[in-house]
Amino acid sequence: MVRQDCHVILGTQTQVESNDPATGELVRLSVTREGVKAVHPEGAVVSFRLPDGPFDSDVVKAFCHYVHFFASRQSAQHWMADHPGTFLLTG
């Protein structure tokens, strides 16, 4: 589950939380309009997938199901082995 506050819209720091889909470990980010200020655990990464074409009514199935926070690169690589076309974004 991802939790976001409206504080980002207001310009203050907010917390984003998500569970690693491979391990269940909680990943936390502190973000502002300027970017990510803190990440826990420190080695967390996010997966991404470039779309094959324009988004349509299946954007969640074709894109969103591939964008996740992972507690570690190893956890992400394990998950990515079963999800071709994904790659990691790191800070």
pLDDT digits (tens, 9 = 90+) for 25-81: 999 998 888 888 899 999 999 999 887 767 677 778 778 888 999 999 999 999 999
Nearest to 44 by CA among 14, 61, 21: 21
pLDDT at 91 (0 to 100): 59
| Sequence-distant (≥ 6) Cβ neighbours of residue 81 within 8 angstroms | none
Question: pLDDT band for position 10 (50/70/90)?
Answer: low
Q: For the chain, list the domains and their CATH numbers.
A: 7-89 (3.30.450.410)
Instruction: Say which residue, 14 or 23, is predicted with more confidence.
Output: 23
| Residue 22 per-residue DSSP state | T
Nearest to 62 by CA among 53, 74, 71: 53
